[in-house]
Amino acid sequence: MDGNGRWAKQRGLPRLKGHEQGAESVRAVLRAARQAGVKYLTLYAFSTENWIRPKDEVEGLMNLLGVFMDRYEGEILKNKIRLRVMGQIERLPENLQKKLSKLMEKSAKDYEYTLIVALSYGSRLEIAEAAKAIARKAASGELDPETVNEETVAQHLYLPDVPDPELMIRTSGELRLSNFLLWQLSYAELYVTDVFWPDFREEQFFQALEAFNQRGRRYGGVVTQ
């Protein structure tokens, strides 16, 4: 969800105002995803590298996340959206961890859609943690190293039950993966738009889906539709 800071700078506003406007784009995209029947939506909200940003911006982002959950908890539950989080959750402020846990528990009882928020997340770290877990099992004799395959690695990632993404949308014209779901995005279609995240709403989301529907997905073989 790129471009919050640049969106604010263009308007002579503090960076946090861009993040606040970006929160409204989250609501818009959630509505559009439900309308389109998208069952899984993952938002890269805060990376492991983002901790080096100015302290006031980091604190503002954490507060904004808490406010968003307080304000829209009812909307999330009413629309049967299950919240899940991936990343180093233990690094988040304790009060935010509690709010996340509470909403995840509530929303898991009756849901049709899943919203995954990547918080303090880095894909290289996720893969390294999976490798360590596999190594520990091999060292203890629980796992034969010769049986380790792609499925073994996938089952040791943060959310092994979630299907791999089919489409990655990158806003603000960025042309890189930025340490996001490097394993899971192996066969995903990439869609890049110059629109900043605070301006990315239902119309832009549907444009991305339409572009995706025009792609021929080969997976190394012949074209499929």
DSSP single-letter state for residue 13 = -
pLDDT in tens, the chain (225 residues): 999 999 999 999 999 999 999 999 999 999 999 999 999 999 999 999 999 999 999 999 999 999 999 999 999 999 999 999 999 999 999 999 999 999 999 999 999 999 999 999 999 999 999 999 999 999 999 999 999 999 999 999 999 999 999 999 999 999 999 999 999 999 999 999 999 999 999 999 999 999 999 998 766 665 555
Q: Let me know if 181 is exposed, middle or buried by CB neighbors in 10 A (0-12, 13-18, 19+).
A: buried
Coil, strand or helix at 145: helix
What are the boundaries of each domain within the chain?
Answer: 4-121+167-212
The pair of three-digit structure tokens given for residue 79, joined into one six-digit string: 């629309």
Distance CA 118, CA 165 (A): 14
Please give the distance of CA 152 from its chain centroid, rounded to a whole number. 22
The pair of three-digit structure tokens given for residue 13, joined into one six-digit string: 């506003």
Pick the CATH number of 4-121+167-212 from 1.10.287.70, 3.90.1150.10, 3.40.50.9100, 3.40.1180.10: 3.40.1180.10
Active-site residue set: 2, 50
Q: Which amino acid is at 21?
A: Q
CB 92 within 8 A of CB 120: yes
